[in-house]
Amino acid sequence: MRLSEVLRSVVVRATKGEMSGEVMDICSSSKSASPSTAFFAIRGFTKDGHDFIADAISRGAAAVVLDREDLFERLGSSGSEGCPPLVLVEDARRALAVAASNLNGNPSEQMKLVGIVGTNGKTSVSYLLESVLGMRGKVGVIGTISYRYPGREDTASLTTPEPVQLQRLLSEMHRQGVETVILETSSHGLVQGRVDGCSFALGIFTNITPEHLDFHGTFENYLAAKLSFFEHHLDPTRTPEAIAVINLDDEYSARFLAASSVKTITYSLEKDTADFFARQIRLARGGTDFEVQTPDGTLCIKTALIGAHSVQNCLAAIAASAALGASPEQIVSGISSLKGVPGRFERVSCGRDLLVVVDFADDPDAIAKTLETARQLVR
């Protein structure tokens, strides 16, 4: 693919050299640069990729993409023989993500990509949604526990992979006939532009409580990162039929509703004005039964998952599944067929009359919900 095509839709400020050269791959590590691989100089938290441009050039990089104007001018004026094309962009990190999508044929445009955003519940919702939509066709999941599709599963390294790996995964899933991909979209991934270049058909907001403040600095910054998904990545100009699914029970739901410029579907345990409203909730050690009031009637749901927070996760998956075309029968069957989620109030058999659970809860809100569920089971 020509360099100019690799950089399609990237905000380019200036160029030096030919843009018609062939590029077979891209990288952000100078060690991977080669005559067929373009190097993107990314500013990291401990190292700056601009410090490794000379190394990339020495390895014969097909091109160098950077966002430091001073360095661009200095490199461009050196006139040194063998200097590859130089491209000055607005943001090299985000340019890398868009270029990765272009290089892989923009795979998210060929499938339905679902982004799940929130502090808690992303993994559980991904499993529930996978269970329902798997009754309609091939589903891929990229998330905290694993990257998987029918016939393959790899342990996850990051909740939301770096853009080059992400786009390769999406491309592979498309080649394998996957129709829908569920992507757990982390705040780190949003701030670092990992999902730039992706076209989302649907986004889900689960909830938000303070987390990752060591990275974001303040809760408002963390909130802004989550909101950015609905402000920028559910884009009606790219995907006119995109849908946002919002949890009305979260105290910040109004902010997420205001951030969305696409069709919105709501769900709730507390507000019967929501599009999907849960009632008649019955909790037991073996699971949870409840009814869901939907725009098309009432669904009777049985799930092996336990607790009010699990009902909320089910509602998110039910609303999203319905929006993506799942039938009531597929929804009911898909929710009931999921027997559990690894590390999410996961019951462990110990051969005695005891209820033993393993739970991944690692922030105050998640721990409180886990303990409240446990209390309800021993009353």
The domain limits of the chain are: 3-101, 104-337, 346-378
- 359 to each of 104, 119, 159, 246, 306, how far by Cα in Å? 37, 15, 18, 25, 12
Strand 263-268, strand 287-294: pairing: unpaired
Q: Which helix (H) or strand (E) segment is 142 a member of?
A: strand 139-142
CATH of 104-337, one of 3.40.30.10, 1.10.10.60, 3.20.190.10, 3.40.1190.10: 3.40.1190.10
Is the predicted pLDDT of residue 369 greater than 80, yes or no? no
| pLDDT above 90: percentage of residues in the chain | 80
Condensed to tens digits (0 to 9), the pLDDT of residues 128-166 reads: 999 999 999 999 999 999 999 999 999 999 999 999 999
Is the predicted pLDDT of residue 361 greater than 90, yes or no? no
At residue 7 the predicted structure's pLDDT band, cuts being 50, 70 and 90, is: very high
What's the CA gap between 304 and 92, in Å, rounded?
Answer: 45
Mean pLDDT along residues 153-180: 97
At residue 214 the predicted structure's pLDDT band, cuts being 50, 70 and 90, is: confident
- Which of 239 and 59 is assigned the larger pLDDT? 59
Is the predicted pLDDT of residue 25 greater than 90, yes or no? yes
* Dihedrals phi, psi of 54, to nearest 5 degrees: -60, -40
Mean pLDDT along residues 304-308: 91
Output the average pLDDT for the chain: 93
Which of these ranges, 85-94, 241-250, 336-345, has the smallest mean pLDDT?
Answer: 336-345
At residue 66 the predicted structure's pLDDT band, cuts being 50, 70 and 90, is: very high
Condensed to tens digits (0 to 9), the pLDDT of residues 231-251 reads: 999 988 888 899 999 999 999
CATH of domain 3-101: 3.40.1390.10
113 forms beta bridges with 181
3-101 and 104-337: identical CATH topology: no
What pLDDT sits at residue 210? 84
Mean pLDDT along residues 99-119: 98
Look at the block and give the residue holding tokens 């992400």. 166
Which of these ranges, 174-188, 199-213, 341-355, has the smallest mean pLDDT?
Answer: 341-355
Other CB atoms within 10 A of residue 329 CB: 10
Mean pLDDT along residues 200-204: 98
pTM (predicted TM-score): 0.90
Is the predicted pLDDT of residue 78 greater than 50, yes or no? no
Mean pLDDT along residues 225-232: 97
- Which of 372 and 200 is assigned the larger pLDDT? 200
Burial class (CB in 10 A: 0-12, 13-18, 19+), 169: buried
At residue 356 the predicted structure's pLDDT band, cuts being 50, 70 and 90, is: confident
Which of these ranges, 189-193, 252-256, 343-347, has the smallest mean pLDDT?
Answer: 343-347
